[in-house]
Structure 1
């Protein structure tokens, strides 16, 4: 077994040259912050989707939303409720599209929120290194290393634009969902569910 000790960066040198690289770094930090801001604003709107699918009040939906402490669990509940209770096929397609776009943005958001950032000797952030453990060719290793280049910066900007558009799409979708659920046919009193037959 070989013990490998990582060499500490020259922090004094990085501090000296950092001001000259502030523009590019600040752009990157602003993009990461904007992705998280836009992503969080979209995630919070799922409380209202949950409220309408459950046909309940905002407080109850918020309690359910908060009790499920992962985004994946919240979206899975929404998907299952939509399959069980939303009869409008067109609205189901709209909801699936919303969830798909949101999931795509979640991957990018997680990529930058759970990574270490590599710098060169000039203090420029050059790469992200994912902290997600993965298995490749039978070996356990840390996640992918990706360059923070102009193409990556453009990708981040495009993702923010998608999240902004998605937020508007969700707010336009909510009244349609509310109307569909309000006018959904109810089970008549005394009528048994087809899945609950007497033994």
Structure 2
């Protein structure tokens, strides 16, 4: 008796894989597009750090990418805004952008840190998140989610949100720059 799942029938999967290649290609292309958009958006926070610290882009990038997680980077940006950004309206807008980015980061992390379950025909049928969830009394390995029309739509919506976020972010940066070079508004 083994605790391991059955070994996949690789020969059968490979023989039938042509029938499901379109589904896999579409799903993997979505993940690639999501990563492309997410990565470009995360990198924009370097400009925020540059402005909040009053330093050059290279130095801001060194600080930003020395931190090894997105969570740590966003926490630093949020703390710097509390410490250095005196314009409350602009600070609230930055906080809103951080929250929006955190929301799209969840699905990106889920898809980049999961195992994929394949059918006997090689279609990707499920993702199994490798995130550990802990409650007061139990520890769970992440949830299993189907790869179906609803999931494709969810990823498409996330990609659309990233595109919108990017435009919002670029509109925000000149406001931040102005706020950091202007005297604080009088209360």
Checking the alignment, whether the CA contact within 8 Å between 2:115 and 2:128 is kept in structure 1 is: yes
Alignment partners' CA distance in 2, 1:65 and 1:5: 41
Q: Matched residue pairs, number?
A: 184
Larger deviation: 33-42 or 163-172? Answer: 163-172
Query: Deviation at 1:3?
Result: 4.1
With structure 2 as the length reference, what TM-score do the two structures score?
0.93
Map Cα deviations across residues 105-132 of structure 1 (whole Å, 9 max, x no partner). Answer: 1100000000001122222211110111
Q: Partner of 2:21 in structure 1?
A: 22
Gaps of 5+ in 1: 186-199
Alignment partners' CA distance in 2, 1:83 and 1:136: 31
Alignment partners' CA distance in 1, 2:151 and 2:183: 45
Q: Which has the higher helix share?
A: 2
Alignment partners' CA distance in 1, 2:89 and 2:138: 45
With structure 1 as the length reference, what TM-score do the two structures score?
0.88
The 5-angstrom pairing of residues 1-199 of structure 1 reads: 3-135=2-134, 138-184=137-183
Alpha carbons of 1:11 and 1:3: their partners in 2 closer, same or farther (altered >3 Å)? closer
Q: Which runs of 4+ in 1 moved over 4 A?
A: none
Q: Partner of 1:190 in structure 2?
A: none
Gaps of 5+ in 2: none
Map Cα deviations across residues 57-77 of structure 1 (whole Å, 9 max, x no partner). Answer: 111111111211111111111
Query: Deviation at 1:137?
Result: 7.4
**Structure with greater Cα Rg:** 1
